[in-house]
Amino acid sequence: MELKGKKVVVVGLGESGISACKLLRAKGAKVRAVERKVKEELREVIAKLEGIGIEVKAGGYGLEDFKDASLVVLSPGVNEKESIYQEVMAREVEVIGELELASRFVKARIIAVTGTNGKTTTVSLLGEIFGKKYPGKVWVGGNIGKPFAELVISGESPEWIILEVSSFQLLQIKNFHPEVGVMLNIAEDHLDRHSDMEDYFQAKLRLFMNQEGSDLGVFNFEDERVRKMAELVKSQVLWLGDKIGDRLGVMRFGKEAIYRDQNQEFRIDLSRFKLPGKHNLENLFAGIACAGWFGIGQREIQEVVNSFQAPAHRIEFVREVRGVKYYDDSKGTNPYSVVASLRSFAEPVILLLGGRNKGIDFSSLREELEKRVRVVICFGEAGEEIKNQLSGIKISCERVEKMKEAVLLASRLAKAGEVVLLSPGCASFDEFQNYKERGDKFKETVRGLR
């Protein structure tokens, strides 16, 4: 892709947008970055970008800012369906995302993982397995917090690229072609961006749109929507789940996972796998499937399975105080992930639920909460809305303003032998920059309890 001298507009100055700006400038493009946030919020970012010759316009933008562009690169959080971008496309200007942009400059083999939940754990696991087999030859990034464009900027040339990709990123691809696509699950999420579940399904399906018969799709057999998606792809298929029967893929048999493809079969001992919950076994099975497909041996896989630790903010044990265990699951940003987290515990739970809603009705949680939770504490911007949706539930439901207040209330209410779980089911942006900051603040508050 030749960019030297071309005028390119980048929309949005989050991590992806900043990385896209740097990549484009390194390739010789004339870059203009536009952002709705005001300059005061972006002083440091603006200074760095202007320092490498990038024009920055903050505080809003209009159609005139795109008039001379030959390419527009959107950040994932920017909705490509907005009228301004539709008008730009009507002028036959190419509009893509940072994921698509970066993919045009790499030749390595790509494994891309998506799904409503479990992406980061699966990508981290794959990074460790492939890193053990191919040390120094694997790059891990994408929506996991390291934009794909950073690889291109670095000049590294890995043999393998393992990416976490979101539905927002997939809406902005054209030619992105992973050799392996992994679909973990599809549950209600991001309905503030997607018009309905069919729209969300179609966005996720785009992961496979450029695959061919020699490529691979890995699909969770336990998820009905994912099973339907597998019928629509051109690639070969491996399945994950307890009930795959004689299908190729990974299934559980007692305390082992069995991998089977056309050429081989092997078993992985699950007894030392530390991550709780059935959902984490599904994530593990996805990692085994990809590794087995590319001929990574049972020994390398087993070593990683035995030593793998959960990434931060994913049912992460923080501390025990007066017999009460505190867990940080700040990455649980939808009801599906809340249920998966709750099912990881046999003990009664004090659940911290809240943040910024993404257009989801929490009344679907009623049955699960009544089975597993003693007290729900609703907090944040969506706290009152969630409490109203849970009206009439047969457990205690409390309401506070801030997450810290929720932690302190939970510490007063919890009894020895119980669990306090932050699994908010919402985005973090009402009070925090991202889920990581929310999780860190939770841990900081818990560590301060006496």
Instruction: Give the domain 316-447 fold.
Output: Protein-Tyrosine Phosphatase; Chain A (3.90.190)
State how far the Cα of 265 lies from the Cα of 230, in Å rounded to an integer.
22
DSSP 156-220: ---SEEEEE--HHHHTT-SS---SEEEE----S--TTTSSSHHHHHHHHHGGGTT--TTSEEEEE
| CB-based contact 163:178 (threshold 8 Å) | yes
Confidence at residue 344, expressed as pLDDT on a 0 to 100 scale: 92
* Residue 191, pLDDT above cutoff 80: no
Q: Does domain 7-96 have CATH number 3.40.50.300?
A: no
Q: What's domain 106-307's superfamily in CATH?
A: Mur-like, catalytic domain (3.40.1190.10)
Which ranges in the chain are annotated with CATH 3.40.50.720?
7-96
**360-377: average pLDDT:** 96
Which ranges in the chain are annotated with CATH 3.40.1190.10?
106-307
Q: How confident is the model at residue 195 (pLDDT cuts 50, 70, 90)?
A: confident
**373-387: average pLDDT:** 97
CB-based burial label for 366 (10 Å; 0-12, 13-18, 19+): middle
Confidence at residue 124, expressed as pLDDT on a 0 to 100 scale: 96
CA distances, 54 to each of 19, 49, 152 (Å):
12, 5, 18
CA distances, 185 to each of 66, 133, 155, 199 (Å):
37, 27, 34, 15
pLDDT digit string, tens, across residues 224-258: 999 999 999 999 999 999 999 999 999 999 999 99
Q: What is the mean pLDDT of the chain?
A: 96
For the whole model, what pTM was predicted? 0.87
Question: How does 278-317 read in b/e, with b if 16+ C-beta sit within 10 Å?
Answer: ebbbbbbbbbbbbbbbbebebebbbebbeebebbebbbbe
**50-69: average pLDDT:** 96
Confidence at residue 189, expressed as pLDDT on a 0 to 100 scale: 78
Which ranges in the chain are annotated with CATH 3.90.190.20?
316-447
| CB-based contact 189:116 (threshold 8 Å) | yes
**379-408: average pLDDT:** 97
Confidence at residue 288, expressed as pLDDT on a 0 to 100 scale: 98
The order of strands in the sheet holding 349-354 is 316-321, 324-328, 419-422, 349-354, 373-379, 396-399
Q: 3-state class of 263 per DSSP?
A: coil
pLDDT digit string, tens, across residues 81-95: 999 999 999 999 999
Rg, Å, the chain Cα set: 23
Confidence at residue 215, expressed as pLDDT on a 0 to 100 scale: 98
